Amino acid sequence: MANQYFVFRELPELNTTFTIENEAVVHHIFTVMRAQAGEKLQLVFDGGKVALAEVISPEERSVKLTEILSALTELPIEVTVAVGFPKADKLDFITEKATELGAAAIWAAPFKWSVVKYDHKKLTKKQDKLEKITLGAAEQSRRQILPEIKLFDQLSVLTEKFSEFDSVLIAYEESAKAGEKAAFHQALTELPKGQKLLIIFGPEGGIAPEEIEKFEQLGARKIGLGPRIMRAETAPLYALSVISAYFELL
């Protein structure tokens, strides 16, 4: 199976020979992966269009478009995962796995009970790292889009974006502890394909009551994720798996 790469350009006409321009992509294909003349590549173009190409000349970075593919690897709803800044490298893990599981965007912000604090410089550096992780995970999992990465320096910047979504859900461990089982399923049944869903997850310490109150005032709904209490890095992946099963497998 041909390796997949995002090439950050418009899809050319079939049988066109063209040069790959993006230096990072060129380095990955021809230096890291050592692609040779005649080798097949699966390329993702702007707008999520996917095609097969044959390497013509590694030295000239040229490839020939040989087949346009009908790829359908994206979830039928746009899911944005928003998390409170977790400790250590857990955000790296969440980003990689959420990309593989189909998230359209991965956002993070400081919650009241977040232990990790980022200044502007650290946020910029972290975002750059996460975007690289996203690219690798998207290529590996045959995604047609690169999930959007956003790191907010204030929780209020995140809440201001609630109005951009058709539904906003809060994965709340107190709901799970209370035995709530139906809200997540009910919310999914109310989402036609093509709509936008935001799911919020707290950091290791959870979501503070005043944050829950604020979220609900803005129209968000609490959901439980079953009887077990999951770690901060597990809950988003569980939720994405449920969404995939509901919309793609059942």
32-79 pLDDT per residue, tens: 999 999 999 999 999 999 999 999 999 999 999 999 999 899 999 999
Model confidence, pTM? 0.94
| Distances 208 to 212, 214, 239 between C-alpha atoms, Å | 6, 10, 20
Residue of 99, 97, 96, 93 lying closest to 74 (CA atoms)? 99
pLDDT confidence of residue 176: 64
Domains annotated for the chain, with CATH where assigned, are: 3-69 (2.40.240.20), 78-249 (3.40.1280.10)
Q: Where are the beta strands (DSSP E) in 46-121?
A: 49-57, 62-69, 78-84, 105-109
Q: What is the pLDDT of residues 109-138, one digit of tens each?
A: 999 999 988 988 999 999 999 999 999 999
Query: Which one is predicted more confidently, 227 or 209?
Result: 209
- Going by C-alpha positions, the residue among 110, 112, 84 that lies closest to residue 199 is 84
Q: If you average pLDDT over every residue of the chain, what do you get?
A: 95
- 214 Cβ partners below 8 Å, 6+ apart? 159
